Amino acid sequence: GDSVTQTEGQVALSEEDFLTIHCNYSASGYPALFWYVQYPGEGPQFLFRASRDKEKGSSRGFEATYDKGTTSFHLRKASVQESDSAVYYCALGDMSNYNVLYFGSGTKLTVEP
């Protein structure tokens, strides 16, 4: 079945550091890929998506590029802020199944001032 792997369970950075969170997917079809962010006590919030190979999604300084060759959608930000501290989820949308989302295990980002 379709699945998403996030290798980093936790990431600790200082403000203005560069962020990379790795996301790899496995799917039989051609899925849409998403990044969501979740703050304590809230539901996940949509960050951005990409639907085709080489498409770049971006929002709030975060970005990721759909790479069908390496089946990846890594999240990057050039300079993190303390307010970016949250849990980040990579997700795969099953277009044949009314866009049911299959989430990775999440990466907790902590940014120290």
Q: Provide the binding-site residues for other proteins, judged by CB under 8 A.
A: 32, 34, 38, 41-46, 49, 51, 87, 89, 93, 95, 97-103, 105-106, 108
Angle, alpha carbons 19-99-53 (nearest 5°):
55
Q: Identify whether the C-beta of residue 83 lies closer than 8 Å to the C-beta of residue 39.
A: no
Cβ atoms of residues 51 and 91 within 8 Å: no
**Shortest distance (Å) from residue 23 CB to other proteins:** 14
> Which tokens hold the place of 7?
């290798």
For other proteins, which is the closer residue by CB, 44 or 111? Answer: 44
Q: What's the min distance (Å) between Cβ of 87 and other proteins?
A: 6
Taking the complex as a whole, the smallest distance from the CB of residue 47 to other proteins amounts, in Å, to 9
